[in-house]
Structure 1
Amino acid sequence: MSRYTITVTSDGRSDTQAVIGYDPPLRTFFLQAFPDETGDDLALWLGNSDREFETIDALQTATLSRGYSFMPLPQDVVAQLRADFADEADRPPHDGPLAALLRHLQSK
């Protein structure tokens, strides 16, 4: 799993320690930002389901729909995310018992 620190903004607030990345087992890009005071919960956590965001653009659209933005994304991060995705493109989907359980839970 890749993880890159970026800045996410919302209504004049900024989280300069937000994290974007690619999760190969779930085959999705993800974004985590704005932890609460305890650091346990996040105001924004996208990309925690199988194939939820298969492109950075899809992740950005979902981010914007929730009132957040991570654009402009630094070009070095864009290049790394694309490389992470390409490196995992031929990876077969997980098909064991845990993957079946995850799919079952996500379908509810």
Structure 2
Amino acid sequence: MSRYTITVTGQGRTDPDAIIGYDPPLRTLFVQAFPHEVTDDPALWLGTYDHEFEALDQLHRAALAEGYDFVALPAGVAEQLAADKAREDGRLPAPLEDLLLRIRSE
């Protein structure tokens, strides 16, 4: 799983420690921001379903629809997210990959 620190704004607040990344098991980009007042979960958490956000612009539009925005991503983060997704999308699920590695080494 990749994780990069970004700044998210919205609803009168700013979270300079928000996280954007790619979740290989769910095959989705995600963003987490603002500590929830009651639970350990983030108050804003997009990208929790399989294939929910396959492109950064989809994730950004969803954040805007919820009343949040990403402040300009740090240099290279958008490119790194695309590379993370491309690299992880080509992988087999870990148990299958481990099995194939064992079979090939025998």
Shorter-chain TM range is 0.7 to 0.9
Q: Distance in 1 between matches of 2:24 and 2:43?
A: 23
Q: Which has the higher strand share?
A: 2
Letter paired with 1:28:
T
Structure 1 portions without partners, runs of 5+: 95-108
Deviates more, 1:49-58 or 1:66-75: 66-75
| TM-score, structure 2 normalization | 0.79
Count of residue pairs the alignment pairs up:
95
| TM-score, structure 1 normalization | 0.78
Letter paired with 2:27:
R
What RMSD, in angstroms, separates the aligned Cα atoms of the two structures?
Answer: 2.0
Quote the residue 1:61 is aligned against.
61
1:52 aligns with 2:52: yes
Give, in angstroms, the shift of residue 57 of structure 1.
0.6
Give, in angstroms, the shift of residue 37 of structure 1.
4.3
Identity rate, percent: 61
Quote the residue 1:36 is aligned against.
36
Letter paired with 2:51:
R
Q: Distance in 1 between matches of 2:93 and 2:59?
A: 20
Quote the residue 1:14 is aligned against.
14
Max radius of gyration: which structure?
Answer: 2
Give, in angstroms, the shift of residue 93 of structure 1.
6.6
